[in-house]
């Protein structure tokens, strides 16, 4: 009798062990992601050791989190987001998530703050982070990744799923170091293409000017406009405490046109100095336009004192007071409200300088990072990786999608459709350097050095030294 009982209990023990193994390691979601770590009704951990709240069973995990959300599984659950998007963008965000909220019953709450960097740091340090944070700076995001505050999105979204949603560039730029190794720290949700030169199309065509395809042709176009009595460029970088950021976008584009993407990445990481020949060359090429009194409307010294939002206005006078303005597509709302896309304005890509490096694209953007790991938060994060999450935003004319699933028909003008194609067709995509560097450099000495150089306070060598000095205050 004892032998039989012992045998039965051995079998029971084996069954329990097998069942435990199934719970701890064998579930997959609809994207084919294996769920690691034991997840129980009382909460468990994922592979990064993050506490999970809510029940995730092997049966549930065969479905994706968005699918489960639409099935009503997370109805009544609250998910909080903190960010700094402005009033009009906040309205666009709410329009974009309205259908998701209504059909899933998830209470999605966005907390808007103009002091995002300070606020998110205080919340995280105080042990009370939002579920999700809306970052615009890769440099700031990396601080939280390195501190181990973020959930690795690849812990519940498979590589195949992510590659179906995004180009590798977007996955690479949000992959960061953490105490547990590399993680995907955020999901890119919307972007602006910075490598664009805007011009008054009707007047431009009437004057007989041609779209330049090389840097030399761009300089020749500038010379032709001067010869006709005009000012080629409208350039402005004043932005209060953030004065200098529009110039940093120019620098990023120039660096990618005079050296390799690998060197750009080293520069952003602090491994290639501002004083290096590559970065100095980028400033020298940029100075061919910025330091030429004949090329800049109002003269070179007006660049630092004119607000960036006013820079497009000279393109829309009759005749134009200036003809060219480089900035991202987020400048379109600064155009006159009655300006017609494709008639009153159009764009071309900033041309190549060295053919070896082609015509790369610099972007700015918004990305979502996850601080609290619960099933309903996973559902929202998975939703943010889909083009549907910004469809309404796109249709309102306010953004460009980084996701592969966005349709051309969502863009309201031919101009915006072509901006989206610039992004889709780009071989090299990089995030704006100043937003990818640590803040003490990117939003600190980089911007200050730019202002000092273009206001003639410092010569180029001294300004580059000043820009580089910010790295001395970055912790290893």
Q: Has residue 329 got a pLDDT over 90?
A: yes
Q: Kindly report the CA angle at 93 between 87 and 94, in degrees rounded to 5? A: 95
Please report which residue ranges of 259-409 form alpha helices under DSSP H: 261-269, 277-290, 302-305, 375-384, 391-395
Mean residue pLDDT of the chain comes to 88
- pTM of the entire predicted model: 0.86
State the pairing for strand pair 187-193/196-199: unpaired
Q: Has residue 189 got a pLDDT over 50?
A: yes
Instruction: Check residue 476 and give its pLDDT.
Output: 62
Give me the mean pLDDT over the 227-250 stretch.
96
Q: Has residue 26 got a pLDDT over 70?
A: no
The CATH class, in words, for 33-191+365-414 is alpha beta
Instruction: Check residue 1 and give its pLDDT.
Output: 37
Instruction: Check residue 310 and give its pLDDT.
Output: 95
* 355-391 pLDDT per residue, tens: 999 999 999 999 999 999 999 999 999 999 999 999 9
Cα 343 to chain centroid distance, Å, stands at 29
**What distance in Å separates the CA atoms of residue 209 and residue 349, rounded to the nearest whole number?**
16
Give me the mean pLDDT over the 313-323 stretch.
97
In which band, very low, low, confident or very high, does the pLDDT at 143 lie, cut at 50, 70 and 90?
very high
Instruction: Check residue 466 and give its pLDDT.
Output: 98
In which band, very low, low, confident or very high, does the pLDDT at 405 lie, cut at 50, 70 and 90?
very high
Q: Has residue 138 got a pLDDT over 50?
A: yes
Q: Which DSSP helix (H) or strand (E) runs through 143?
A: helix 138-146
**What distance in Å separates the CA atoms of residue 190 and residue 262, rounded to the nearest whole number?**
24
**What distance in Å separates the CA atoms of residue 388 and residue 84, rounded to the nearest whole number?**
22
**What distance in Å separates the CA atoms of residue 127 and residue 15, rounded to the nearest whole number?**
40
* 28-82 pLDDT per residue, tens: 444 443 333 333 333 333 333 333 434 443 334 457 999 999 999 999 999 999 9
- Proportion of the chain above pLDDT 90, given as a percent: 84
Helix axes of 460-469 and 446-454: crossing angle, nearest 10 degrees: 160
In which band, very low, low, confident or very high, does the pLDDT at 6 lie, cut at 50, 70 and 90?
very low
Instruction: Check residue 11 and give its pLDDT.
Output: 36
Give me the mean pLDDT over the 251-266 stretch.
98
Instruction: Check residue 62 and give its pLDDT.
Output: 54
**What distance in Å separates the CA atoms of residue 388 and residue 113, rounded to the nearest whole number?**
25
Instruction: Check residue 355 and give its pLDDT.
Output: 95
| More confident: 11 or 144 | 144
**What distance in Å separates the CA atoms of residue 53 and residue 39, rounded to the nearest whole number?**
8
Name the token pair of 276: 């290096």
Give me the mean pLDDT over the 273-299 stretch.
97
Listed residue (298, 365, 321, 338) closest to 199, CA to CA: 321
What residue spans define the domains of the chain? 33-191+365-414, 196-359+438-473
The CATH class, in words, for 196-359+438-473 is alpha beta
CA 420, 421, 423, 424 torsion-angle sign: positive
Residues 6+ apart with CB under 8 A from 362: 193, 194, 195, 249, 252, 253, 256, 429, 430, 431, 432, 433
State the pairing for strand pair 196-199/322-326: antiparallel
Give me the mean pLDDT over the 267-290 stretch.
98
| More confident: 418 or 47 | 418
Instruction: Check residue 473 and give its pLDDT.
Output: 86
């Amino acid at each position: 009798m004892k032998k039989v009982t012992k045998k039965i209990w051995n079998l029971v023990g084996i069954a329990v062990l097998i069942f435990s193994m199934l719970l701890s390691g064998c579930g997959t979601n609809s994207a084919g992601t294996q769920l690691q770590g034991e997840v129980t009704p009382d909460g468990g951990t994922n592979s990064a050791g993050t506490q999970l709240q809510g029940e995730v069973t092997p049966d549930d995990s065969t479905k994706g989190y968005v699918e489960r959300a639409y099935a009503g599984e997370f109805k009544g659950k609250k998910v909080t987001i903190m960010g700094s998007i402005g009033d009009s963008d906040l309205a666009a965000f709410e329009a974009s998530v309205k259908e998701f909220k209504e059909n899933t019953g998830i209470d999605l709450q966005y907390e808007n703050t103009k002091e995002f960097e300070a606020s998110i740091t205080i919340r995280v340090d105080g042990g009370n982070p939002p579920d999700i944070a809306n970052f615009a700076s890769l440099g700031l995001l990396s601080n939280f990744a390195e501190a181990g505050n973020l959930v690795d999105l690849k812990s519940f979204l498979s590589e195949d799923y992510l590659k179906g949603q995004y180009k590798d560039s977007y996955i690479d730029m949000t992959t960061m170091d953490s105490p547990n190794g590399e993680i995907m720290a955020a999901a890119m949700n919307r972007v602006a293409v910075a490598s664009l030169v805007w011009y008054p199309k009707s007047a431009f065509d009437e004057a007989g000017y041609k779209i330049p395809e090389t840097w030399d042709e761009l300089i020749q176009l500038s010379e032709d406009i001067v010869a006709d009595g005009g000012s080629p460029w409208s350039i402005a970088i004043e932005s209060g405490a953030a004065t200098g950021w529009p110039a940093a976008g120019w620098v990023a584009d120039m660096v990618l046109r005079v050296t390799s993407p690998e060197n750009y990445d080293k520069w952003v990481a602090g491994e290639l100095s501002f004083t290096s020949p590559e970065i100095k060359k980028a400033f020298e090429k940029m100075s061919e336009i910025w330091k030429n009194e004949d090329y800049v409307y109002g003269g070179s010294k007006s660049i630092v004192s004119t607000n960036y939002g006013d820079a497009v206005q000279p393109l829309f006078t009759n005749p134009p007071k200036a003809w060219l303005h480089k900035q991202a597509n987020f400048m379109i709302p600064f155009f006159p409200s009655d300006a017609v896309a494709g008639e009153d304005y159009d764009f071309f890509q900033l041309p190549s300088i060295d053919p070896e490096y082609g015509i790369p694209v610099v972007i700015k953007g918004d990305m979502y990072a996850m601080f609290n790991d619960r099933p309903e938060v996973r559902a929202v994060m998975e939703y943010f990786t889909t083009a549907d999450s910004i469809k309404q935003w796109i249709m309102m004319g306010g953004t460009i999608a980084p996701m592969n699933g966005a349709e051309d028909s969502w863009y309201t003008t031919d101009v915006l459709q072509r901006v989206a194609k610039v992004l889709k067709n780009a071989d090299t995509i990089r995030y704006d350097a100043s937003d990818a560097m640590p803040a003490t450099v990117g939003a600190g000495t980089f911007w200050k050095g730019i202002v000092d150089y273009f206001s003639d306070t410092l010569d180029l060598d001294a300004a580059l030294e000043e820009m580089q000095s910010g790295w001395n205050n970055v912790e290893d």
